[in-house]
Amino acid sequence: MTLTEDSPEQSVTSQLANGLTCDLPAGSPLARLLKSQRTWVGPSAKERLAILRRAKSIAIVGASPNPSRSSYFVGTYLLQSSDYRVYFVNPHATEILGHRAYPDLASLPEVPDIVDVFRKASDIPSVIDDVLAVGAKTVWVQLGIWNQEAAEYGEAHGLTVVMDRCLKVEHARFHGGLHLLGFDTGQISSRKAIR
């Protein structure tokens, strides 16, 4: 639907999930709903595997010394089940899992290959600015966290952005330790693990 010049309302072009577009009145409930829908698509499974294979170091932003927090669990997994150099970033902690905690990305001894983010969605834009400032190339925003505008902004500035995916689950799935949905398969395999 295209509005005429006499129309008091502006029209917006919305892209639907099937790839088609349509023009809608900007203030309509459907236009607002479509704008709130997720249209950004991150790297494919093959691309995520390639990201994990290329990486040598990971910084966990929002890492917590609290064993009940998911960032603690992911840090434990990465230290025990991978060859990555793992850095913990938390300005309120001095040590996490027996490793030094850094106040910010700029304080790390190297530029990490992946910045794994455990921060609320509204904090993601400032984290992306920090990532750009230190020169890291990949931002991995954890499962349940979504900020489409930040993802688009990061990509527009040359970052690879993975969002709403657990790095631990993806790593374990690609290395034979998890079922497609992220659950332990319970299988013992003679296949060599990919590191």
80 and 119, same domain (yes or no)? yes
What's the structural domain count of the chain?
A: 2
Is 180 part of any domain? no
pLDDT 10s digits, 25-38? 877 777 666 666 66
Amino acid at 114: I
Judged against a pLDDT cut of 80, whether residue 80 lies above it is answered with yes
Question: Could you give the count of Cα atoms lying within 13 Å of 174 in the half-sphere of its Cβ?
Answer: 20
Q: What angle do CA 32, 38, 42 make, to 5 degrees?
A: 155
Domain range enclosing 92: 45-174
Kindly state the percentage of the chain with pLDDT values over 90. 65
Distance CA 64, CA 89 (A): 9
Please give the Cα distance from 22 to 2 (Å, whole number). 9
- Tell me the C-alpha distance between 143 and 156, whole Å: 22
Q: What is the pLDDT of residues 3-27, one digit of tens each?
A: 334 445 677 666 565 556 677 787 7
Does residue 193 belong to any structural domain of this protein?
A: no
